[in-house]
Chains A and B, each alone.
Chain A
């Protein structure tokens, strides 16, 4: 089984190689490397070739980890632009160097481990020691995606609508098309043919396991009810999700 991640398209949104930075208009923001703390230049030594501030990017920033998603660094870093790291503390310090692909040479596996530890510690402190999902605390559910090497966790209480959730999932699993799961798309749920369009039209669809242990297509119930009943999420290949549709229709009809 080919891990889906590896089969992702190689199209680079921003194709940057040495010497091609001009296309992107980066001259203004281009960094020249010098001794730390001294800004430009370093007396005497020639640094001939322009430093490869390689914007094919390394997503291992530790702050704002929910966005940067280090678990998918391996894939994402080939596709996205990396902004300069903001200088967090002292404005008098020179701006931080943009991160370079594969530097420092720490295996993504190791980087990911530490990031995952950090985020699960955050989750635990948010959840409190009891670990129960009551109405005020967070509602963490695992999210898996077919073909992805890691599971993620999301807190459903952080979102108010399905669209918010899809946006977040979209960011997490950004190279895959989740499909037209906007609120309009979900209203079409009851219409079987449009449902089939949805399933055939995208590579992946989000599904969830509810309290009864059934696997359902996401979006068939009102949001609040979904948050209460969802135990875990799985972003399934749409070819596999086809089989869920009839059951989803059944359950919807029974509920309404």
Chain B
């Protein structure tokens, strides 16, 4: 079952892994894709030999007086198209498209959702030329480390070229989901004006637009059902976008704007909610007070997902003034299963949510600076909880309370109130251990802490065999097991060894090459690996590149891996979405060798200081490389050097 928060993050952690290309030669997997696209459009393919050998069977014309039974090919294609309509998973579809040309064609005609994991891996024209009947586009841009200011501003991932092409190829487009893309107001205006049937817009971790862009969407997309803005940066153009939704009954089912950092017109919002009978998901921003929340809730008791906004009174509430019965508003929302918000919480009001606790499957307290005492009465009722995000202000004691009650917990994220290295820290191995003992069905964990022990990590590996995602962030760099003084190698080793379903791993603390040898030895299903301040030598990275056949996303920072280590992954890079290495020990020459050996990799060297020229400097600050059918992109800024494949 897809849980809501992960779905919103557009995480691929739940995906099935794609078929593994076990061949050692680098060009084979690219050729396969190119055959299919080469057969439809003759442009741009660098492997001209293979595309020219592909031909499309052209039906011979039949005199109309004679009846002729349909060609076997046609029957097959009709059957295929009918059957293929039932294939929804893109991994299954990719596999089907590799069978033969006619399957490839049929699959292309029946694919309705286009997923592009790296917007630079393929051009809009090529992708849309192949898949002509798409109604829904999912696009991902920048790599994850861009979230942590490791990428220069304006690096790329512009939505512009994509939306332009979509207006040409997909007039019936209904849905767009973007993650880490740069989107401008003009892009949104074009989107709003071009697609009459447009229904769903999701922008996750995007930036570059403002409330004016939202105003375009609200006023022009008459069929809009979903407008989800998740952790995006939205600038305040002082446009009253909420008022821009047209009058009359609205089809809105989901309106998520908790990340929008500006005030909204509450009266307009209230009217909008009142005229949206299908509204199921509503996440308010922190400019909505609890009094205003009440007014909205009583108009929308059918909500299943609620983001409460600030969850504190506005400034004008005086002492002694009577306040509404917030608890009754919550009690009226009998379908509520997912609760978030609490952006500026006044803990006194927390008891209002008691009536919904027993039904909650997802609770997000990650903006609520509350203590264990605040949490306990709430969490003790949340028996059905599957997803829980919280701040470490609840301390180990709070986590113990979670472990005691939430036996169905699948996903836990513990964020730090203070993201620093030099403080005590309120959560530790004690909390982790408690969770591992109490929440046996845990599948995904993200845990920020200041201190940890191998024993607790090992315990989790043994108690929670269903773990797919294990992300531990010991915030102090190079911190060892604080009880034994040992590196954290054994803990992470146990995770990869015991958690047989593990697909995503983030490591931290003091780690030697041994930890990497464990990952290479046991982490056979690992697709995403995040490494920071870890390892001793090139061997560390070699173990991983040689040992993990499913590896697709590798992000490394500040670790002592050099050119030799980089070289050891040549056999595998074409199977990956990307490789990121910043502040490691790479040199320009080493990266050049890669670029020459792998002509279909785009090898970007990024420097923050645009005055420095990478051509004149040996050391590489940041390497970001990814496979692409298009060669070097033409929108790179000055501080990005894209290495040439020749010489």
Q: Which residues of A contact B (CB under 8 A)?
A: 1-3, 5-8, 10-12, 15, 17-19, 33, 35-36, 45-46, 48-49, 51-52, 54, 56, 58, 60-62, 73-75, 77-78, 85, 96-97, 99-111, 113-114, 117, 120-121, 124, 127, 129-131, 144, 147-151
Contact = CB atoms under 8 A, between A and B. Distances in A.
Contact of A10 (B150, B231, B420, B639): B639
For the complex of A and B, list the 8 residue pairs with the smallest distance between their C-beta atoms, beginning with the closest: A102-B148, A131-B315, A96-B422, A15-B609, A106-B419, A1-B185, A104-B475, A6-B153
A3 B148 contact: no
Contacts of A85: 420, 422
Given A102-B150, A107-B231, 8 more contacts: A1-B185, A6-B207, A73-B149, A78-B608, A104-B473, A105-B145, A107-B147, A110-B415
B343 interface: yes
A121 to B, nearest CB: 8
Nearest to B237: A1
A56 B607 CA distance: 12
A102 B145 contact: yes
A104 B231 CA distance: 18
Contacts of A124: 315
A113 B184 CA distance: 23
A105 B369 contact: no
A147 B152 CA distance: 18
Interface string B226-253: 0000010111111000000000000000
Contacts of B208: 1-3, 6
10 contacts: A3-B207, A5-B153, A10-B638, A12-B609, A51-B558, A97-B477, A104-B473, A106-B148, A114-B367, A149-B234
Most chain A CB atoms below 10 A, which of B319, B417, B558: B558
Contacts of A15: 608-609, 611-612
B421 A99 contact: yes
Contact of B184 (A2, A10, A144): A2
Contact of B621 (A18, A51, A109): A18
Contacts of B422: 85, 96-97
Nearest to B258: A113
B233 A149 contact: yes
A104 B448 contact: yes
Most chain B CB atoms below 10 A, which of A58, A61, A113: A113
Contacts of B185: 1
A35 B210 contact: no
A113 B367 contact: yes
A150 B152 contact: no
Most chain B CB atoms below 10 A, which of A96, A117, A120, A124: A117
Contacts of A129: 315, 318-319
Given A6-B153, A18-B621, A109-B233, A104 B416 contact: yes
Given A35-B480, A78-B608, A130-B318, A117 B473 contact: no
Interface string B520-537: 000000000010110010
Most chain A CB atoms below 10 A, which of B417, B422, B485: B422
B467 to A, nearest CB: 20
A42 to B, nearest CB: 8
Contact of B148 (A19, A105, A120): A105
A56 B608 contact: yes
Contacts of A106: 148, 415-416, 419, 448
Chain B, interface size category, equals 35 or more
Contact of A105 (B186, B473, B478, B610): B473
Contacts of B152: 10, 78
Nearest to A10: B610
Is chain A's interface secondary structure helix, strand, loop, or mixed overall?
loop
Contacts of B610: 10-11
B149 A108 contact: yes
B184 A114 contact: no
Contact of A103 (B237, B316, B532, B619): B532
B366 interface: yes
B404 interface: no
B156 to A, nearest CB: 12
Contact of A45 (B286, B475, B512): B512
Contact of A114 (B237, B319, B417): B417
Contact of A74 (B153, B237, B585): B153
B204 to A, nearest CB: 11
Given A12-B609, A114-B417, A1 B149 contact: no
B490 interface: no
A109 B285 CA distance: 13
A12 B367 contact: no
Interface in B397-429: 415-422
Given A6-B207, A35-B485, A11 B611 contact: yes
A235 to B, nearest CB: 12
A111 B154 contact: no
B611 A1 contact: no
Contacts of B512: 45
Contacts of B560: 48-49
B466 to A, nearest CB: 25
B344 interface: yes
A105 B149 contact: no
Most chain B CB atoms below 10 A, which of A3, A48, A51, A121: A3
